[in-house]
Amino acid sequence: MRGFRYLLVVVPIAALFAAAPAVAAQRYTVRWGDTLTGIASAHGVSLHHLARANHMRPRSLLLAGTTLRIPGRGQGSSGGHRITVQWGDTLSGIAARYGTTLTHLAAINGISPFGVLLAGSHLRVPGSAAAPVMAASSSFDAVRSLDRWAAHYGVDPRLARAVAWMESGYNSGAVSAVGAWGVMQVMPATWRFTQRLIGHPVARTPDGNVRIGVAYLHHLLNVFGGDQRLALAAYYQGPAGVRRSGMLRVTQRYVADVMALEARM
């Protein structure tokens, strides 16, 4: 389904205050590929205060699965950037407009990716994306690209579409705080690894991003014996992390959300 959208309703002003999403999470579970700098930027706090709140050095290595305490306002918060939800807005559309991902935008606002958006309520966008990014070129058809490479690599096109929608809302211009970019939110290390699997360089274009992401998903399905849940977990958490720690709670939610999306595609 190309146009899966989030329900937007208008409610009385008094209800907005009760139903508005939380401004900032108090705890954050580290995922594969995260950096302390990226987490600090995404939550609108300084690197120094985030490190101090967790008794760490600013250059400390992060282990996937550990939990960080996010300082609240008045404890080093940079204030972030808040927007007011307008009639017709969708969570995925807002994520695309501000160059972040659907899952990340939902996480920093303490809401479900499938939650209800209330016209007039406020959302926080990552501090590193305080202004809307330019829209991706309208000449790129994400669904056509996804279907093409899904057929090429033998991946269920509904699964490829679901992963892409969960990761970026089909936004080819999305860039995360940790460096993942494009429709499939590919990390630089994943790009290099998958290029080696393919056997030749892949152009850093929106279509190339889709190819890399779908090829990597195909690889993970093979690695985990066709187990779709484990392959999705590895796409989000990293295959080494899944083997070492199993599915983290945040990964379980990601997998469940992608599979729910797949059923609607």
pLDDT tens digits, one per residue of 194-228: 999 999 999 999 999 999 999 999 999 999 999 99
Map out the domains of the chain as residue ranges: 8-129, 142-262
Residues 221/232, Cβ–Cβ less than 8 Å: no
Q: Which of 1-15, 43-57, 64-78, 239-253 has the lowest mean pLDDT?
A: 1-15
Q: What is the DSSP letter of 71?
A: P
Does domain 142-262 fall under CATH 3.40.50.300? My reply is: no
Confidence band, pLDDT 50/70/90 cuts, at residue 44: low
Residues 161/260, Cβ–Cβ less than 8 Å: no
Confidence band, pLDDT 50/70/90 cuts, at residue 237: very high
Q: What is the pLDDT of residues 151-195, one digit of tens each?
A: 999 999 999 999 999 888 888 888 777 788 899 999 999 999 999
Handedness of CA 121, 126, 129, 135 (dihedral sign): negative
Interstrand relation of 67-69 and 117-118 (parallel, antiparallel or unpaired): unpaired
Residues 82/124, Cβ–Cβ less than 8 Å: yes
Q: SS3 for 84?
A: strand
Paired residues of 139 in beta bridges:
none
- Which tokens go with 42? 């995404």
Q: Which fold has domain 8-129?
A: Membrane-bound Lytic Murein Transglycosylase D; Chain A (3.10.350)
Residue type, 13: I
Confidence band, pLDDT 50/70/90 cuts, at residue 109: confident
**What single string gives the DSSP state of each residue in 118-130?**
ETT-EEEE-GGG-
**Which pLDDT value is given to residue 99?**
66
d(CA 204, CA 42): 25
Q: Which of 4-13, 17-26, 106-115 has the lowest mean pLDDT?
A: 4-13
Q: Which residue has the tokens 């392959």?
A: 231
* Chain centre distance of CA 76: 25
- Which tokens go with 59? 């250059």
Cα angle at 181 between 102 and 149, to 5 degrees?
95
Give the largest Cα separation in the chain, rounded: 59
d(CA 64, CA 149): 30
CA separation (Å) from 255 to 18, 133, 226, 231? 29, 28, 15, 9
pTM passes above 0.75:
no
Q: How many CB atoms lie within 10 A of CB 98?
A: 21
Residue type, 121: S
